[in-house]
Copies of this chain bind each other. A is one copy, B any other.
Amino acid sequence: MSGQSTKQNETRRYPCEKCPLRPLKIFRAFEPQELAFVSKFKRGELSVDKGATVLLEGTHSAHLYTVLTGLGFRYKLMHDGRRQILNYLLPGDLIGLQGSLMGEMQHSVEALSPMLLCVFERDQLGELYRNHHGLAYDITWIASREEQMLDENLLSIGRRTAIERAAYLIAFVALRAESVGLDPEGKLVIPITQQHIADTLGLSLVHTNKTIRKLMDRKLIMWRDGGCVVINRPGLMALARWEGLKEVRRPLV
């Protein structure tokens, strides 16, 4: 499934006790016995290269993952090759829950940058629900948050103009990145091509390019090092008529 471009690390760079994400104030703290269980639940770490396929539509996966570092995206393909990017994956996000619950994956996942993933065993989800209702609640919470983001994306593709969509998308990813501590100095390069943006917005590549150019002309963003740099996020949000995410403290598994 992951092919030759992924590799399993035997050693753990980050044992759960030293999780680099949990200290962030946006994540809720763990009870000691939750930490103990998650630490047992975790089977290792998976490191994938930029461009690698993490999960493939139509397959079954024995694992689910939490993003530790790096960015990725979920997408679906039609038989004739049309691609729709559904959402982006950032540190703290859960990957593959749908597949774990319902069997076959209904979407694929690809890495936008090198990623480091926590690996969990889907077979142990049952025990999690049996013995750790707090974590079970958290997982539902995370699923619900994903649903909320999809609602926003649907509104955007359905009802915004091209330039509004582009502004929304970039602000959306940038805001999420900030909230998990990426971009501490406002210099984050979102490692994304214009083809990704086009496939997210439901636009053609050419029209996306001309739209992005308008955003650059307005000095809202820059394109650099093969990625996107946000210059004026409030400006993007105003252009998109987007209020931003209701970012409350959230769970992390």
Contact = CB atoms under 8 A, between A and B. Distances in A.
Interface of A: 74, 76, 78-80, 82-84, 86, 97-98, 101-104, 106-107, 125-126, 129-130, 133-134, 136-137, 139-141, 143-148, 150-155, 157-159, 199-202, 241, 246, 248
B144 A97 contact: yes
A159 B97 contact: no
Nearest to A246: B104
A151 B101 contact: no
A60 to B, nearest CB: 12
Residue among A80, A151, A241 with most chain B CB within 10 A: A151
Contacts of A148: 98, 102, 106
17 contacts: A76-B155, A80-B241, A84-B154, A84-B155, A97-B140, A98-B147, A102-B148, A103-B248, A106-B148, A129-B134, A129-B136, A130-B133, A133-B136, A140-B140, A147-B150, A157-B202, A158-B200
A158 B201 contact: yes
A239 to B, nearest CB: 13
Residue among A101, A148, A158, A241 with most chain B CB within 10 A: A158
A140 B248 contact: no
Nearest to A198: B158
A159 B202 contact: yes
B246 A140 contact: no
